[in-house]
Amino acid sequence: MAKELFEGIYSSHKIVFIERVEKNLQFYLKNKIVNIKKAGQEVIVEVDKKDLKEVLFELKNNTEFEIEILNSINYFKSKNNYYVLLSLASVSNNFSMLLKVKCKTNLREELFESPPSSDSQGNSNRPGRSGNIGNIKNTNNSTLHSQINSGFKTTQAFLNEYNEINTVISEFYPNAVFYKKNDNLRKSFNDIIIKSQILDGLDVFDIYAKNYDDKIDKSYLDLNISEIYASSPGIFNNIDVTKLLTIISRLDYSAGIFPELCLVLAVEDLLQIKIPKKIFFIRMLVSELFRISNHLYYVSKISLLLGMNLCLNRALIERERILRIIESITGSRIHPNYIRIGAVAHDLPSEKLLNIKNELKVLIENIDNLETLLLDNTIVTAKLKDIGIVNKNTAIKFGLTGPNLRSCGMRYDLRKNRNLLLYKEISFLVPIGKYGDCLERVQIRFNEMYQSAKIISQILGQIPEEKIKKILSLKGVEIKRTDCLASVECPHGVYKLFFEIEDNIILNLVPITSAKNSIFCAQVVLEENKPEDIDLILASFDISGSELLQGLYL
Amino acid sequence: MTTIFLKVLYLFLIITINLYIGAYLVNKISARSEHRRGFSISKAGWFGYPALKVLKYLEKSYKINIWEFLLLFLSFFIWTIIPFSTWLVLIKLEGDLIIALLFYMMLIFIFLINASRSSYETIYQNVSRNVLMAYSFEIPIIFCVSSIVLINRTLNLKEIVGFQYQFWNIVYQPLGFVVFFTAVFLQIKLFSLTKTNNLIFKQNSEKEISGFGRFIVRVAYYNIFYFLIVLIIILYLAGWQNVYFLNGNILFILKFYIIFIVILLLDKATPLLDDYKYLISINWKFLIPVAVANFLLTLVFFILRNVYSLI
């Protein structure tokens, strides 16, 4: 069956299901929808701001949809218009969608209303981002940069409108409040202040907490510092797909393959390219290797905070081993730059496969030893147990995904729930927890590493012997301006990429990641825990700093 | 007069050389047990490393306050009561066991006063917690010590060692030894030599307490470490008693370093202990009940043997 599906004789049941959802949306929302589009196994729906309340009411209460989860709120600017992106998901109907809300604020109108900004580098007539790409291509680099810089600034008019939209959303989804900017909290919660870079690996936010009776009363994680990165906008925007592929792994430095994979999957879905089986297997192999590498990095961070320096060094040694395997396949360790449209950069000869097989045995034995060393220690378990507990309901409310969600007892994994790559051909388990405390979150990671090793060993047995054909180039291909969306199961959670594409240029790249969900959940979870456990609880959520970059797309 | 002078010189040499070796071992053993290479300055070498560290502290600042001076003085003065052999003891007292314990408690209290000068609230909070925890670990220690006093019927450390010429106290008091050792180990972990909580200590205290004051605090930590080890050896492991043809003084050194290394390795095998609830539960659910039960058992045997002379 899988082979027939792969050859395209039957469309998968998931695609059929999504088509049904699309039809239902068209039926129930009728003239409120400006535009509807199926992207991969998800739906993108564009609505107007004035209809938002009715649309959200319908989506939440209609039994055909029953959308309970708000995963994220993002915003971007396209063709002189601001858009707010809502990532929504339904547990009971097992689908997710993207709601694109068109705002009233028009850039052209603002030009006359707002005074010229001081940091627009003397550019008196602020044109903003032009919708016509041809113009931008022809301008000089310096003028282009100033244009982009001035265009990326959020204006007060838009922020006011964003707040209005946020209040509407928070009527249906209470966690939308967290996406509002609130600097007053910083001043009121000042009993404990932990600035960024004090904690290892958690250097993208400051922590402000209110202390009461030796316990944290309320906490606020300030993400302002992550906006520093916005000083270099345009790195990920307005560039060629092939160029973007070389740098996109920086969006997740602990598991660099996943942004690449996500981008390529979206483009392949748009072009409806048929891909050889071997490439699917190679992609799965590399992504599982990166999953193990990321989880080992996670274990090293946790053991550093626990003071188990022996485990820290053991984990780093094993990570070194796996990074060398990755290097032998892709050519680099952290930023792979490996996946191409319709192919991968280098072929994988059978000699390397044997090498991986031998290394994998040693690796799994050592990881097993590492687990006994770390989790058989009663003091460690006593320390991790019963702190930072996340309920099933809280996890759903904040839209957690990935291992953090699975540790609460929800079995949700894109590898199983969607037709991601060729995971259907491979037998593996999705480990779940029960209580959702820090200990479970660490245990889940260990179990996932074993399952990844199981997947890799199956891939090594099943990988077909064929030569990979030429890599596709998008040069000269004419594509109309369209929205693209794809999602993969990253080690931190679900990783989504939304972007607009025209010809072979990527515009308005919006990464929709799980890091913010984890942070907002952590804010609530930190309450009634001890101040000494702050670092452990935050580290147990596996928040990737690079996923929190703000202002990238504005 | 000359003998006293010689004794002081010997004691000072023993302590400083041990501090030197201890600083080296703490660095090297902890590194090796963590699969690291450890600190090594090629030019300074293993011999020059601790001296270099002292110079580094002195370079930053050389001012100390009165409490730091008291800390330094007391941490060396504690050794005047502790006997190292039948000959090497400065002050001879009847109840030197009690006085040694009192000195130790005073030494810890000065840590608290020293920390109270800090402008950071978190440092004072944590040191005061540590000190209170250390005091609560004194309760099982006092029960263990009193059961040894019941067996040996003396408060003098020298006489306690003399009593163990035939059987070591560990044979009579295995439970007591376990409790005493764990209590000592946990106290050493509290004043952690090798690790500190990054979040609470490192960022603030390194700015505030640097220079010679920090050196003194570390010397005091090492002195406490050595004092507790020596107490274990004298009370349970027969101090400087000869075993057959083996010299007692050499055995004393051997026992000292074996316990030192065992504690260092245990320190590396256990995580950072800043979870006070866990420490309290260890203390009140394991150490104190076992210590009290051990004490009551010894009391029963003591009464049966000495009052009714049944055993």
Contacts with B, A 435-464, CB within 8 Å: none
Chain A residue with minimum CA distance to B270: A308
Give the one of A198, A305, A313 whose C-beta lies nearest to B35's C-beta.
A313
Mutate to test the interface with B, among A379, A535, A537 (most CBs of B within 10 A): A379
Across the interface, whether the CB atoms of A532 and B197 are under 8 A apart is answered yes
What ipTM was estimated for this complex? 0.80
Nearest CA in chain A to B125: A214
Q: Which residues of A touch B130 (CB under 8 A)?
A: none
Give the nearest chain B residue to A196 (CA atoms): B199
**How much is the pLDDT for B295?**
95
Q: From B265, which residue of chain A is nearest by alpha-carbon distance?
A: A310
Q: What is the pLDDT of residue A481?
A: 86
For B29, residues 6+ apart whose C-beta sits below 8 A from its C-beta are B261, B264, B265, B268
List the single range of A29-38, A44-53, A222-231, B176-185 with lowest mean pLDDT: A222-231
**Residue predicted with more confidence, A256 or B87:** A256
Q: Give the residue range(s) of CATH 3.30.460 domains in chain A.
A: 2-114+155-174
What pLDDT digit, counting tens, does each position of B105-129 carry? 988 888 888 888 877 777 787 788 8
3-class SS string, chain B: CHHHHHHHHHHHHHHHHHHHHHHHHHHHHHHHHCCCCCCCCCCCHHHHHHHHHHHHHHHHCCCCCHHHHHHHHHHHHHHHCCCCCCCCCCCCCCCHHHHHHHHHHHHHHHHHHHHHCCCCHHHHHHHHHHHHHHHHCHHHHHHHHHHHHHHHCCCCHHHHHHHCCCCCHHHHCHHHHHHHHHHHHHHHHHCCCCCCCHHHHHHHHHHHCCCHHHHHHHHHHHHHHHHHHHHHHHHHCCCCCCECCECHHHHHHHHHHHHHHHHHHHHHHCCCCCCHHHHHHHHHHHHHHHHHHHHHHHHHHHHHHHHCCCC
- Enumerate the residues of chain A whose CB falls inside 8 A of the CB of residue B34: 309-310, 312-313
Domain with CATH 1.10.645.10 in chain A: 228-548
Block residue for tokens 């003998």: B3
Q: CA distances (Å), B108 to each of A143, A341, B137, B217, in order?
A: 68, 67, 12, 11
Give me the percent of chain A exceeding a pLDDT of 90.
Answer: 19
pLDDT at residue A149 above 50? no
Which segment of A105-109, A155-159, A254-258, B158-162 scores lowest on mean pLDDT?
A: A105-109
A310, A318, A366, best to mutate vs chain B, most B CBs in 10 Å? A310
Residues from chain A that touch B199, judged by Cβ atoms under 8 A, are: 194, 198-199, 532, 534-535
CA dist., res. A105 & res. A103, Å (int):
6
Give chain A positions within 8 Å (CB) of B270: 377, 379
The CA distance from B122 to B126, in Å, is: 6
Partner-chain residue, chosen from B195, B200, B278, that has the shortest CB–CB distance to A307: B195
pLDDT per position as a tens digit, B32-78: 888 877 666 556 776 777 787 788 888 887 778 888 888 888 888 88
A93 Cβ partners below 8 Å, 6+ apart? A21, A64, A65, A66
* Average pLDDT estimate for A129-141: 38
Question: From CA B228, how far away is CA B238, in angstroms rounded?
Answer: 15
Answer whether B278 sits within 8 Å of A382, measured CB to CB.
Answer: yes
Min Cα distance A390 → chain B (Å) is: 21
Is a pLDDT exceeding 50 seen at residue A335? yes
Segment among A158-162, A227-231, A378-382 with least mean pLDDT: A227-231
Binary contact (A532, B269; C-beta < 8 A): no
A382 Cβ under 8 Å from any chain B Cβ: yes
Whether the per-residue pLDDT at A451 is higher than 70: the answer is yes
Check A309 against B274: CB less than 8 A apart. no
- Residues B272-276 have a mean pLDDT of 77
- The pTM score is 0.84
Q: Angle, nearest 10°, between helix axes B45-60 and B2-33?
A: 100
Question: What residues of chain B lie within 8 A of the CB of A198, using their CB?
Answer: 198-199, 203
- The per-residue pLDDT for range B192-210, each reduced to its tens digit, is 666 555 555 555 555 666 7
Q: Given this model, what pLDDT does residue A141 score?
A: 46
Has residue A420 got a pLDDT over 70?
Answer: yes
Q: Nearest-CA distance from A287 to chain B in Å? A: 29
Task: Pick B278's closest partner by Cβ from A313, A377, A383.
Answer: A383
Q: Does A380 touch chain B (CB under 8 A)?
A: yes
**pLDDT confidence of residue B180:** 95
Closest residue to A307, CB basis, from B33, B36, B271: B271
Q: What are phi and psi of A415, to 5 degrees?
A: -65, -30
State which amino acid sits at residue B5. F
CA of residue B49 relative to chain centroid, distance: 23
Nearest chain A alpha carbon to B275: A383
Rounded Cα gap, residues A407 and A447, in angstroms: 11
Question: A2-114+155-174 in CATH: which number?
Answer: 3.30.460
Whether A308 sits inside 8 A of B33 (CB atoms) is no
Quick one: pLDDT at residue A106?
A: 66
User: Greater confidence, A97 or B180?
Assistant: B180
Specify the pLDDT at position B174. Answer: 93
List the single residue in B34, B195, B274 with the smallest CB-CB distance to A532: B274
CB contact under 8 A, A377 and B33: no
CB contact under 8 A, B200 and A532: yes
Asked whether the predicted pLDDT for residue A498 surpasses 50, the reply is yes
Q: B160-187 burial, b if ≥16 CB within 10 A, otherwise e?
A: bbbbbeeebbbebbebbbbbbbbbbbbb
- Residue A10: predicted pLDDT: 52
pLDDT mean across residues, chain A = 80
Q: Which two tokens stand for residue A223?
A: 């993400």
The CATH superfamily holding the domain A228-548 is Cytochrome-c3 Hydrogenase, chain B (1.10.645.10)
pLDDT class for B191, splitting at 50, 70, 90?
Answer: confident
